[in-house]
Structures are given as C-alpha cells and as structure tokens.
C-alpha cells in the first residue's frame, strides 16, 4: 500500500470498529489505494461473504477482515520461507549448480512470484502487486507447440479406433527417433508442453529396448535432481503447500481439542516424511501456543525411503526447531516398510497420523487395507488424508493414457501461473518431477502388477475405503478454507480470492462432502483433495 495510507492504517484501531476479529487483509475499493487496484475485491462480494468483516477506518477508505484470522496466523507462510533457507545447507541444493550453470541460486529467487501479502512489523497485512516478467517466446517455438497439440490429438483419435492401441501409436517411433537425433541430451529438448513429454514416452514405449534413444528417454532423474525439482515446485506453487497447511490445521485443532488431557504432547506419525517440508509451519503454530513455563512437546515419527533422506530431514527439522525454545522437538526416522510396533507412544499424548500423498503409492489394495487396519489399531485422535484426484483403474492403455493426459495437462498449465515458459526451474519440474510421474503412470502394466505405479482415485473411492475400515469423516473448520484461499492469494498470480468455488481460469479451492473435504483445482480439473478422519 502507499506509505502515507499505510502509516494512517497503522495508527487505526480495527477493534474500535469491528470488535475482536483480525488484521486488515486488503483494500476493497479501487479508490482506496491505486497501488493495489488490480487486486481489489469488489465491495459487494465482500459484503455477501460471511467470513469477511468490513470496516471503515476513521482516516477514510475501506478495509476487509478475515474473521478469526490474526497476523500471527500468517506465520505458516513465513515459517516455510525460513525453512527453505535452511535447505541451502543441504548438499542436495548445490550438486547441480556446477553441472547446470543456467540454474539460478536458490537464495536469489523470490519465494513470492505473484501478488503477495506483506506483513509489516506491527502486524498490518497489506495486499501488494507484483507483476511477473515473462520472456517472449519465439514464433518457431509456438508453432512447434501447436504441432505437438495437433499430432497428439491425431494419435488419440487413431488409438481410439484401434483394437490394439500399441499398433496405433507405432507410427510415432520414427518421428520420435528423428527428434532424438537432433538432441544429444534430453535436457536440450526445450518443449515444455505436456504433449511433448507424453509423445516422447509413447515413441519409446512403442519401440524396442535396443533403440538408441530408449535409455535416454527412460533414464530416471537422480535423487539430487528430483529433490531440486520438488524444491522448485514447493517454493512457487500452492500445490504441495495447500496440502500441508490444510493437514497441519486439522492436526493443530485436534491437539487443541485434547489440550486439557494430553499433557501438551503431540505425536505425529508421518507415513511419507519425504523432505520434511510440511512440519516447519506446525512447529511455528505450536510454538505460538507455548510459553517458557508451559512448553509443548512435538514428536514426529517419519517414514522415509532411505537412511540418507531421513538423516537429512532430521537435521533440517532439528535445526529449524532450535529457534523455538518453548517447544520440545524430537524426530524419529524409520524406513518404509517398518512395522508400527516399532513406534514409541507416550501416555495421553495426542496421536495424529499423516497420510499425505502416501496411500496412492500402495498399488496393492491389500497393502492399503493392511495399512489402514494398522492405523486404526493405534486409535489416533485424527488421520489426515491428502491424495491426488484421478480415476486410473487398471483398464486399457488408452483409458489410462487419456486420464493421465488430462491430469498432467492441468499440472503443466498451472506452471504458467508463476514460472516463465523456458525458465530453468520450470524445465526441472517438468522433466525430473512431472515427467517421471508421467512415465510411471503410463508404463504401468496390470499384468506385471507394478507396485511402483501411483494409484490416483476419486475422493468418493477413498471415502468408501476409509469408512469400510472403521473411520468417519471430520468436518473441516472454516479456518481451513479461509487459510486455503489466503494461500492462493499469496502464492498465485492470476487468481483472486474465490468465495463460492467458481472457476476463474486459474487455481481455486472449494469444499466437498458437506465440508468434510477441501479440494484444490486448476480451472475445471480437481488436482488434490484433503480430508480428516477419526476412529469409530
């Protein structure tokens, strides 16, 4: 906001006008502040929304308040920013810099690449506008993208009419081989379109393993490359952050509900701790509730893919937690596949189970069932489930292909919201993260029962599965939805806050299942859904 207006607002007491609610979020009239005109929310829309309280400061203008959301409640954003800085000490963040000179330093990349909310020292929150600079794309490059679109549609049409889809796509082998001969390294292929990635895989799938370009296309990214790609996506996109913040909010509310009987102790069992990105915001939130004389204990038991990953995660989380002396933090790492009997439980502690992007990796229905039965035996206070939305059952190749194409097209398109077309970060995400998932999804062979293939299902499918194993859905609080909408405001470029779930040609969030689930969508495509459960 303009310095003069911001100075006046800092001396205004919002409680004098609207009672004990929250800090101002943004101006809602174009006349209030020309700087944030593009981000202004119409007065009528604010007035019609029950979660927003309006106020008129004595110095003039209009303010909007999210009821019940204080400035301290925005610390989950700042906590993640600080945690990402800790990652610079990790060797993973530096391995690629010598090999890929075009990659920018992580420290030099702004974590907010779109409009963001600025939190002033005194707690004021102001909407700011950050225009993103986009490099122009050559006409030749655009033409090649259109060609990929056209030929992929032709391939889909041909395959739909063929009894054997493999034969229908065999004519793409020659073209793919010719394309590969022009690029000695897969990194030189600058096409960022999802159809290009899919078409390269299809050509490889329809060819022989002895093909000169088979190994080049099917080569898996290194753990360092995958980590760097995940970090890039996490930093700029609301995709993973919304999943984590929504899960953390549900866990925090479960802890608060039992605060009088749990000895102020919380035990989180994370079935896929990955790189530990989810937990800094929870550490910060718990620390705000604790004092030096009345500490809170947080124990995280995390399952990881390797000892190295677990050690790295523990080091980062412990280092971050040292900044909060009123919080006792402990981390226990276990390799995936370890039995739940190895868990150490304390008397009366609140136990929360975190299932974020985990169950879909268990391709075997029996493994999913066994996992849910084991979790139910722990009698946790809450189970948080977050999964990608899809409908990939082991049917024909064509049906899996179409479903995957639609899902990943939405993921690729969403990158336009915060990354230029040919940025090194975007290419890293597309090749080493999304590209790997595409190959895994489409390479699934139901006859071989490939256990490494993720299983994306509809929310209704997961709901039925949870209920059949003795779990009942928990209605999410209004704060979860408010927080999700605010995250989109902070992290996305084109999407204003949406109050009733309608599409706005960008990211959107909306409630489902009578408020027991919250989904993140891109345009008309649902990307992921978060829900909370308890034992019955």
- Asked if 307 and 339 count as a contact pair (C-beta separation under 8 A), the reply is no
Question: 464 lies in a domain?
Answer: yes
- Of the candidates 42, 71, 100, which is a domain's last residue? 71
Range of the domain at 308: 237-392+453-535
What CATH number is given to the structural domain containing 264? Answer: 3.40.50.150
Q: Which of 51, 71, 91 is the last residue of a domain?
A: 71
Question: How many domains does the chain fold into?
Answer: 2
Q: Is the dihedral of CA 103, 82, 277, 384 positive or negative?
A: negative
CA distance 522 to 232: 19
Q: What beta strand segments (E) does 357-496 contain?
A: 382-388, 471-474
Q: Report the alpha-carbon angle 369-257-293, nearest 5.
A: 120
Q: Is 422 within a domain? A: no
Q: Are 9 and 62 in contact (CB under 8 A)?
A: no
Residue 443 falls within a domain, yes or no? Answer: no
| Separation of alpha carbons 402 and 404, rounded Å | 5
The answer to whether residue 513 sits within a structural domain is yes
76-125 confidence digits (pLDDT tens): 555 566 566 555 444 544 444 444 444 444 433 333 333 333 333 333 33
Q: Which residues of the chain have pLDDT under 50?
A: 1-41, 67-75, 88-90, 92-138, 140-142, 144-145, 147-148, 159-192, 208, 446-451, 494-503
Q: How many C-beta atoms surround the C-beta of residue 191 within 10 A?
A: 19
- Residue 431: the pLDDT is 87
Which of the listed residues 48, 71, 94 is the one where a domain comes to its end? 71
pTM for this prediction: 0.69
Distance, in Å, from the CA atom of 370 to the CA atom of 521, rounded to the nearest integer, reads 30
In this structure, the number of other CB atoms found within 10 A of the CB of residue 405 comes to: 18
E strand spans, 114-213: 117-119, 125-127
Domain for residue 44, yes or no? yes
- Residue 173 confidence (pLDDT): 38
Q: Is residue 28 part of a domain?
A: yes
**Selection from 431, 369, 397 nearest residue 192 by Cα:** 431
Count helices and strands in the chain by DSSP H and E runs = 20, 14
pLDDT of amino acid 443: 65
What is the Cα–Cα distance from 209 to 375, expressed in whole angstroms?
A: 42
In a domain, 325, yes or no: yes
Q: Has residue 175 been placed in a domain?
A: no
């Amino acid at each position: 906001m303009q310095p003069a207006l911001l100075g006046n607002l800092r001396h205004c007491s919002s409680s004098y006008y609207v009672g004990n609610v929250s800090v101002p979020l943004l101006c809602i009239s174009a006349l209030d502040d020309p700087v944030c005109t593009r981000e202004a929310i119409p007065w009528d829309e604010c007035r019609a929304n029950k979660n927003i309280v309006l106020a008129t400061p004595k110095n003039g203008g209009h303010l909007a308040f999210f009821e019940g959301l204080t400035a301290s409640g925005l610390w989950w954003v700042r906590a993640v920013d600080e945690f990402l800085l800790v990652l610079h000490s990790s060797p993973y963040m530096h391995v690629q810099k010598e090999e890929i000179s075009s990659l920018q330093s992580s420290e030099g990349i702004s974590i907010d690449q779109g409009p963001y909310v600025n939190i002033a020292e005194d707690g004021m929150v102001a909407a700011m506008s950050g225009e993103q600079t986009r490099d122009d794309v050559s006409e030749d490059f655009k033409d090649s993208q259109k060609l990929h679109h056209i030929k992929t549609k032709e391939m889909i049409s041909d395959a739909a009419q063929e009894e054997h889809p493999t034969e229908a796509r065999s004519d793409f082998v020659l073209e793919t081989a010719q394309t590969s001969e022009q690029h000695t390294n897969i990194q030189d292929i600058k096409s960022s379109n999802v159809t290009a990635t899919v078409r390269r895989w299809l050509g490889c799938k329809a060819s022989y393993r002895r093909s000169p370009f088979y190994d080049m296309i099917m080569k898996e990214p290194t753990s360092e490359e995958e980590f760097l790609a995940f970090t890039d996506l996490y930093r700029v996109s609301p995709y993973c952050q919304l999943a984590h913040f929504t899960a953390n909010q549900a866990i925090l509310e479960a802890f608060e509900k039992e605060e009088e009987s749990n000895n102020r102790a919380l035990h989180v069992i994370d079935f896929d701790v990955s790189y530990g990105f989810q937990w800094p915001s929870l550490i910060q939130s718990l620390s705000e509730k604790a004092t030096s004389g009345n500490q809170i204990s947080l124990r995280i038991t995390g399952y990881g893919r390797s000892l190295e990953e677990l050690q790295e995660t523990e080091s980062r989380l412990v280092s971050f937690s040292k900044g909060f002396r009123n919080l006792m933090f402990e981390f226990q790492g276990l390799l995936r596949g370890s039995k739940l009997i190895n868990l150490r439980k304390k008397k009366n502690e609140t136990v929360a189970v975190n299932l974020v992007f985990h169950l879909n990796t268990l391709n075997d229905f029996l493994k999913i069932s066994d996992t849910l039965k084991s979790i139910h035996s722990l009698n946790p206070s809450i189970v948080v489930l977050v999964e990608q939305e899809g409908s990939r059952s082991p049917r024909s190749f064509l049906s899996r292909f179409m479903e995957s194409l639609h899902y990943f097209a939405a993921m690729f398109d969403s990158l336009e919201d915060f990354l230029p077309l040919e940025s090194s970060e975007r290419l890293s995400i597309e090749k080493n993260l999304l590209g790997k998932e595409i190959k895994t999804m489409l390479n699934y062979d139901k006859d071989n029962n490939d256990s490494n293939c993720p299983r994306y299902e509809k929310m209704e499918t997961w709901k039925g599965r949870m209920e059949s194993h003795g779990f009942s859905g928990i209605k999410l609080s209004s704060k979860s939805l408010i927080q999700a909408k605010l995250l989109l405001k902070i992290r996305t470029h084109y999407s204003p806050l949406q109050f009733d779930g309608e599409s706005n040609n960008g990211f959107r969030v909306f409630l489902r299942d009578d408020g027991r689930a919250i989904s993140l969508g891109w345009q008309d495509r649902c990307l992921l859904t978060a829900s909370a459960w308890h034992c019955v």
